[in-house]
Amino acid sequence: MRLRQLLSVILLALWTICGAVPALPQGANMATEQGKIQAVVFDAYGTLFNPYTAQPQAEKLFPGKGTELTRLWRSKQLEYTWLRSLMQRYEDFWEVTRDALVFSCQSLKLECSEQAIQGLLQTYLDIEAYPEVEQALRELKGRRLAILSNGTPGMLQAAIESTDLEGVFAQVISVDAAKTYKTDPRVYQLAPDKLGVAKSAIAFVSSNYWDAAGAKAFGFWTCWVNRSGAPPEVLGVKPDAVVKSLAELQDVLPR
């Protein structure tokens, strides 16, 4: 009998004898100890899809400023989702993305015409996947896969079509249904609601530490995809696994 199975049997026996739920080892999760992960849910932007797809076009429009613009744009995009959640003033992700772009151009003193804005926004509809995504998802064949994203339904559908991932995901879930953004627990609750499984039976995968932390605090088994080798955020919550790319995901997921 494998160690995990033996531990589960011992815990169950103690529960039966003592009439109480025994404490698991620090960092352990009852669902993963029992091997009952039923669905793997992915963040979209930064995890499956590259939010810096616009960089070459931004560089063409604003020579020498493309990288700075796309990085500030992404940073403000996320900041605006958090601020709008706190203010309870929801606007969908397309509008937030546009607002963040307008601010970023103004902040960098770039003359950004409406045509330029529309062209840069279009890159979110023609977005690129990270190189390892297709193979990593293929290796998970047989598992139930889903997306849980800040993106609007239209943005997510366009991204899936742009990256030839149609038919891969059992559910594509947008925060639009909750009218708030990650890391609000109401967003993470959408996944068990839509998939029809307990939150303890979901593995959540994100390249954003704050997102992985929010998902872990909610009750998911979590994996942080740390492509850049960044230090972990100090939030009092740690993911269950850390990988350098999605190519390593199959090796760390609970069986």
Catalytic residue among 43, 176, 184, 240: 43
By the 8 A CB rule, do 35 and 254 touch?
yes
Distance CA 197, CA 215 (A): 15
Distance CA 152, CA 93 (A): 6
Distance CA 61, CA 113 (A): 10
Q: Is 176 designated active site?
A: no
Residues whose CB falls within 8 Å of the CB of residue 5, separated by 6 or more in sequence, listed in order: none
Question: What would you measure as the largest C-alpha separation in the chain, in angstroms?
Answer: 72
Distance CA 55, CA 67 (A): 6
Active site residues: 43
